[in-house]
Structure 1
Amino acid sequence: MTTAVPENTRATRPSILTVDDDPSVSRAIARDLRRQYGENYRIVRAENGDQALEALREIKLRGEEVAALLADYRMPGKSGIEFLEEAMDLFPVAKRVLLTAYADTDAAIQAINVVDLDHYLLKPWDPPEEKLYPVLDDLLASWEASDRQPVRQVKVIGHRWSARSYEVRDFLARNAVPFRWYELDQNESEAQRLLSACECGEADIPVVVTPDGKALTRPSDAELAARVGLSTTPSTDFYDLIVIGAGPAGLGAAVYGGSEGLRTVLVERLAAGGQAGTSSRIENYLGFPDGVSGEQLTERARRQALKFDVEMLTTRKVVSLEAKGAARVVRFDDGTELSAHTVILATGVAYRTLEAPGLGELTGRGVYYGASTTEGPSCAGQDVYLVGGANSAGQAAMYFAKHAKRVVLVVRGDSLDRSMSRYLIDQLSGPGNIEVLTCTEVIGGSGTDHLETLTLRHNKTGETTTVPASWLFAFIGAAPRTDWLDGTLARDDRGFVLAGPDLLTDGSVPAGWGLDRPPYHLETSLPGVFVAGDVRSDSVKRVASAVGEGAMAVTLVHRYLERS
C-alpha cells in the first residue's frame, strides 16, 4: 500500500482510496489521482478488497475522513461491489466509483442497486483530464458540500416483550431514523444505567433518549416524530395536490406531482413505504435484477420526492374528506384542516388480524402483523412461524431463514401456486430451514408475558397440534383503510374505493356527480379526488402497478385542473 503525503500531514487531509488487483493499473490510477488531488487529499492504494478494508478501518480509528472510493469490479476473492458494500458501513457518505475494463451493464445495475453507486468508470480513462478528473471533481465537490457530521443516534430503552417498545422501534426503523436498542434484562446493565441517568424507572418504558439528551417516557408517535426531526406540520394551508398515504402509490404520485410543478404535500399516518416498505427483498420490480429491499426502495423514493420540493408529513391521521366549493378539504384527528385543488387517495391496505383465541392480547409481544426487520436478529436460533401464502409471506420467510433455526410457513390452501410468484416458491427450498405446512391454520395461542405456544389445525383431517413458539408473523388478507370515507366516496362491498368506469351504471354518471363528463379513469365519485394503488377496487396488488397508478393519477390531476 502506498500513500502520497508525509506522515505528519495525514490527519489534516481526507483520503481517496483506490483498489485494483492489477498492480500496473493500481499504480497508474494512484499516480493520476496524486497528480491532480495530492495537494488536498491523501491517496491510498490497495491491491485487494481485504487490504482496502483494513486501510479504511485504520483511517476510521484515527478519526479521519474518506472522500471517495474507487474499486475495480472484477477482483478475485472480494469483488468491487462486495468491497463497496462493506465500505459503506465505515464511511457511508464517501463517494463510490466502480471501475471496469469494458462496458459491463449488468455490473453497473447491480452496483446501483446494492451500493447506491455514484459513478461507473470505464478503463482505460486516458486522457484523465477528460475521462477521470471531471467526474471526480464533481463527486468531490458534492462530498465537500455534504453534512459529514457523525450521526447522533436515538436511544430506546425497553423490554423485548413490551408491545409499545416494539412499536417505537418499528416506527423509528421504518422512518429511517438511526437508533440503538437497549434491552432491559439481566445482561444489559447499560440499559439500567441509562434509566437511572434519565431519572426513570421500568414503569416508564419505553424511554426514548433523543440526540439532544431529552428523555421521552412512553411517547406517542406524534411526539416521537416531532422530537427526532420528522415533519408533522404543513408550511401552508393550501396546496395544488394532497396525497394521502406514502406507500408505493403515494410516493409515486408525490414524485410525479412535485416533478411536474404541483405544490404537493404527502400525508402519512405512520411511516413511508406501506406494506412494501417492510419487505426484506422485492425481486420482481423492474430495473432491480438483484432485488431491492422495501426499505431501500422507500428511502430512495422519499429522497426523490424531497428533491422535487414535496412536503412530507408524518403521524397525521386523516379522518374526513369533503368538498368546499372548488377546494377539497381533509381534516385530521386533531381537528386541523388542509385544503387543495385535488386529492389522491393512496392509503393502501392493512393485514387482517388473526381471530384466534389468545392471540389478540399478545400482539406486539410475539404476535406481529407484517414483517418487522427489527426483530430478525432477536429470532436467532429459534423457530419462527409465518401465516400466509402470498409474496409478502414468502419474502419474509426468506428473510427470517437467515436468522432463525427454523421457519414454518402456515398456509391455509393446499399449495402456494395460486397465491405466490413462482420465483419465490422456487427460492423457499434453497435455505434448507424453511418448512411449508399446507391445509393448515392457526386456531389459538397462549403465553404469559409473551407468545409461548401455538395451536395448529389441519383443515382437512381436523387434527390439532400444539407447538412451542415465541414468534408469529401474519400476512393474511387485505383490509382497506376507508371507514373514514363512509358517506363521502362510493366503495365496493369490501370497502375498496370505486373509480372511473366502475362508477358508471348503464353508461350513466353516478348520482350527484354534477359534471357534464364521466369520471376520469382513477377519479372517484367526488370530482377532483383520485385513487391509486391497493385501496382502489380491483387493483393489481403489486408494487409496480401501484407506482404506475400514482403517476397516472397525477396526469389526470393535470387534466382536471386544466378543465376546472
Structure 2
Amino acid sequence: MAKPTILTVDDDPGVSRAIARDLRRRYGDRYRVLRAPSGAEALEALREVKLRGEPLAVMIADYRMPTMNGVQFLEAAMDLFPLARRVLLTAYADTGAAIDAINIVDLDHYLLKPWSPPEENLYPVLDALLELWAAAPDLAVGETRIVGHRWSAPSFAVREFLARNLVPYRWVAADEPEGRRLLDAAGLSADDVPLVITADGKTLQAPSEAELAAEVGLSTTPAADFYDVVVIGAGPAGLGAAVYAASEGLRTVLVERSATGGQAGQSSRIENYLGFPDGVSGAQLTDRARRQATRFGAEILSAREVVSLEAAGAGRVLRFSDGTSIGAHTVVLATGVSYRRLEGAGLDEFTGAGVFYGSASFEAANCTGEDVYIVGGANSAGQAAVYFSRYANRVHLLVRGADLARSMSHYLVQQIDGIANIHVHPHTEVAGGEGDRHLQRLTLRDNRTGDVRTTDASWLFVFIGAEPPTGWLDGVVRRDERGFVLTGPDLLSEGARPAGWPLSRDPYHLETSVPGVFAAGDVRAESVKRVASAVGEGAMAVSLVHRYMEAQ
C-alpha cells in the first residue's frame, strides 16, 4: 500500500517550501508530503491521489489565497476525502475566520504563522491529528472500484450505498477501456454490471448490500447475543440514542439496514442545527456522530434489517432478515421515515436511472450544465435545490401548493429567492416520465387547471411525504393510521392504559405499547420533524431506558 499523503497548499513559495520541509523532516519516512501553490492545483492533485486509490491523512491550507481561499479549498476537498483531517494556516489577524471555519468545514485545527519552532507549535498538533486519522474505524486501506453503466439502477444502488456509508470508491464506466479490461479480467461482460473490485482484489458481481458491507469493512455481525439496549435506525435520533447510551456505560448496539444518517445524512447543508451558524452537511454531522458513538463503545451494524420484535419475559428479541437474532433489556425504535414513491406513468422503471429518491449528491457533478427537477416543498427539497444550483444550468423546484412558505423554513425560502437559477413552479405535479433506458422526458401537470406539458429532463430528485417503515411491527406495537408509532400519553384512551399493558404504571413519555420498547424521532407519532428534536428524543429515550431498567 502506498504511503498516506499529507497535502499543503499555500500561494507564498517561501511558506510553502518551509512547511513542506518541516513536514518531510518529521513524517517523510511514513507519509508522502505534497505541496501545491493554489487551491485549484491542490484539488487536481487530490483527484490524482483519489484515482490511484491512495489514502489522504491531513490537508493544511493557507487561509489567504487568491481566487480560492483556504476555507473554500477545504470545503471542496471534503467531497473527495471526507475523512482526512483539516488544518487552516492563518495569520493572527485571521483567527476570527479560522474559528468560523470550524463550523463551515468541520475544521480540526488552525495554526498561526509562523509556527517556529515546529517541535512546539507544529508537530504536536500533527501528531495528534495523524493518530486520530489512523485510529478511525472506517479508514480506507485501499481502493474499491465500481464498474458499471451511468444509467444502470443496480450500479447506482452500489454507488449510493458506498457514498452514504462514507466508503471511498472509484467509478469506472463499463464502456471505457479500463472498464472493459476489468470486466474481461473478471470473466464478465458489460451486461454483468455492477462489478465491485475490493481493495484486496476480490470481485463481487451485483452484490447485495450485506455482501458489499462485509467486504468493504463495515461491521455486519453483532459481537454479543444480548445487550442493554438495541437502537434500530441510525438517523439523528438513533445516533443520539447510541451516543448517550454508550457514554453512560450501557452495552449498546446500533442497527442500520442501509446507511447511517438517515434522511438527514443526505442533506447537502443543514443550517438551523444548534451550534453550526454556517451550517453543516448531513454527511459531516453523521460522520462526527458515528465516530462519537464508536468512541464511547457502541457497536454499529450496517446492512442488517430487523424483521420482527417479540417480548420474551424481561427481555426483547429482535430477529434479522437472515434468521439470526439478538436480545436486549430495552429497544429504541428510531427507524425514521422514507420518501414516498412518486406516482406517475413510467416513473418506476427509471428509479436509479434518472429518478432518484432523496439527494444523490454524488451525482451533482454529472448534472453540470443540465436542468435538474426536484419534487417537494419541505426543507430537504429546498436544501437539495440550493446544492444542485451550484452545478446545474437551472434547478426546477416543483411544488404542489401555492408557494414554499407553508412547509419550508423561512431562512431557506429567502435563500432560494436569492438564487437566480432556481425556478419555483407552484401547483405543479409530475404526471409521468419517458425515455430509452433512462429518463429523458417528464410530463408535468397543473393541479389547478389540469393542463399538461412535456419537457426534456434527465434528472428528477424526489422529496415527497414521509412513510414510516414500521410494517414489521404490525400486531406487536401500536401505531396510528399512517403507521407512526404511538407512545406515552397517546396510548391512553380516556385515561385507560392500552389493552394488554402488563404494568401498574402508565407508559413513559416515549415508551410504546410494549414496555421497555421506546420510539424516538420521525417514526414517532406527532413528533417534530427536525434534526435537533430527533437528537433530543434519542437522548431522552436513553434516560427512560435507565428508569425502566432500574425498576425491573
8 Å CA contact 1:15, 1:41 repeated in 2 = no
Deviation at 1:160, TM superposition (A): 1.9
- 3-state SS, counterpart of residue 262 of structure 2: coil
Aligned residue pairs: how many? 546
Question: How far apart in 1 are the matches of 2:311 and 2:489?
Answer: 22
How big is each residue's C-alpha offset from its partner over 1:38-90, in whole Å with a ceiling of 9 and x where there is no partner?
Answer: 57769999997569959988x989x9999866655456655343455567769
Structure (1 or 2) with the larger CA radius of gyration: 1
Q: Which amino acid aligns with 1:107?
A: A
Q: Which moved more, 1:277-286 or 1:374-383?
A: 374-383
- 3-state SS, counterpart of residue 349 of structure 1: coil
8 Å CA contact 1:30, 1:45 repeated in 2 = no
Deviation at 1:330, TM superposition (A): 0.7
Deviation at 1:329, TM superposition (A): 0.8
Question: How far apart in 1 are the matches of 2:94 and 2:437?
Answer: 58
Q: 2:356 maps to what in 1?
A: 368
Of 180, 195, 199, which residue of structure 2 is paired with 1:192? 180
Of 230, 234, 250, which residue of structure 2 is paired with 1:246? 234
Q: Which amino acid aligns with 2:302?
A: T
Q: 1:269 maps to what in 2?
A: 257
Question: How far apart in 2 are the matches of 1:155 and 1:64?
Answer: 12
The answer to whether 1:510 aligns with 2:501 is no
Q: Which amino acid aligns with 2:326?
A: L
How big is each residue's C-alpha offset from its partner over 1:201-238, in whole Å with a ceiling of 9 and x where there is no partner?
Answer: 12321111111212211211111111111111111110
8 Å CA contact 2:103, 2:278 repeated in 1 = no
Question: How far apart in 2 are the matches of 1:496 and 1:276?
Answer: 19
8 Å CA contact 1:21, 1:47 repeated in 2 = no
How big is each residue's C-alpha offset from its partner over 1:505-535, in whole Å with a ceiling of 9 and x where there is no partner?
Answer: 2223222211122111111111111101100
- 3-state SS, counterpart of residue 214 of structure 2: helix
Of 541, 548, 562, which residue of structure 1 is paired with 2:529? 541
Q: Which runs of 5+ in 2 are unaligned?
A: none
Cα distance change on mapping 1:544 and 1:201 into 2, 3 Å: same
Of 479, 482, 486, which residue of structure 2 is paired with 1:494? 482
Q: 1:101 maps to what in 2?
A: 92
Cα distance change on mapping 1:448 and 1:80 into 2, 3 Å: closer
Deviation at 1:462, TM superposition (A): 1.7
Question: How far apart in 1 are the matches of 2:262 and 2:523?
Answer: 12
Kindly, what percent of the aligned residue pairs are identical?
A: 59
Question: How far apart in 2 are the matches of 1:380 and 1:54?
Answer: 18
How big is each residue's C-alpha offset from its partner over 1:458-484, in whole Å with a ceiling of 9 and x where there is no partner?
Answer: 111221111122221111110111111
8 Å CA contact 1:454, 1:467 repeated in 2 = yes
Q: 1:172 maps to what in 2?
A: 162
Q: 2:102 maps to what in 1?
A: 111
Q: Which amino acid aligns with 1:406?
A: R
Cα distance change on mapping 1:106 and 1:343 into 2, 3 Å: farther
Q: Which runs of 5+ in 1 are unaligned?
A: 1-11
Q: 2:207 maps to what in 1?
A: 219
8 Å CA contact 2:234, 2:255 repeated in 1 = yes
Q: Which amino acid aligns with 1:546?
A: A
Q: 2:189 maps to what in 1?
A: 201
Q: 2:319 maps to what in 1?
A: 331
8 Å CA contact 1:503, 1:510 repeated in 2 = yes
Deviation at 1:118, TM superposition (A): 2.7
How big is each residue's C-alpha offset from its partner over 1:82-133, in whole Å with a ceiling of 9 and x where there is no partner?
Answer: 455567769974662544426945631423541x333245678899887767
Q: Which moved more, 1:382-391 or 1:13-22?
A: 13-22
Deviation at 1:146, TM superposition (A): 8.1
- Structure 1 length normalisation: TM-score? 0.86
Question: How far apart in 1 are the matches of 2:40 and 2:352?
Answer: 44
Of 449, 458, 472, which residue of structure 1 is paired with 2:437? 449
Of 159, 162, 180, which residue of structure 1 is paired with 2:152? 162
Question: How far apart in 2 are the matches of 1:443 and 1:131?
Answer: 62
8 Å CA contact 1:244, 1:267 repeated in 2 = yes
Aligned-pair RMSD on alpha carbons? 3.8
Question: How far apart in 1 are the matches of 2:452 and 2:40?
Answer: 56
Matches within 5 A, 1:323-362: 323-362=311-350
Q: Which moved more, 1:213-222 or 1:321-330?
A: 213-222
Q: 2:221 maps to what in 1?
A: 233
Q: Which amino acid aligns with 1:179?
A: Y
Question: How far apart in 1 are the matches of 2:113 and 2:216?
Answer: 44
Cα distance change on mapping 1:353 and 1:46 into 2, 3 Å: closer
Q: 1:556 maps to what in 2?
A: 544
Deviation at 1:412, TM superposition (A): 0.6
Question: How far apart in 2 are the matches of 1:205 and 1:336?
Answer: 30
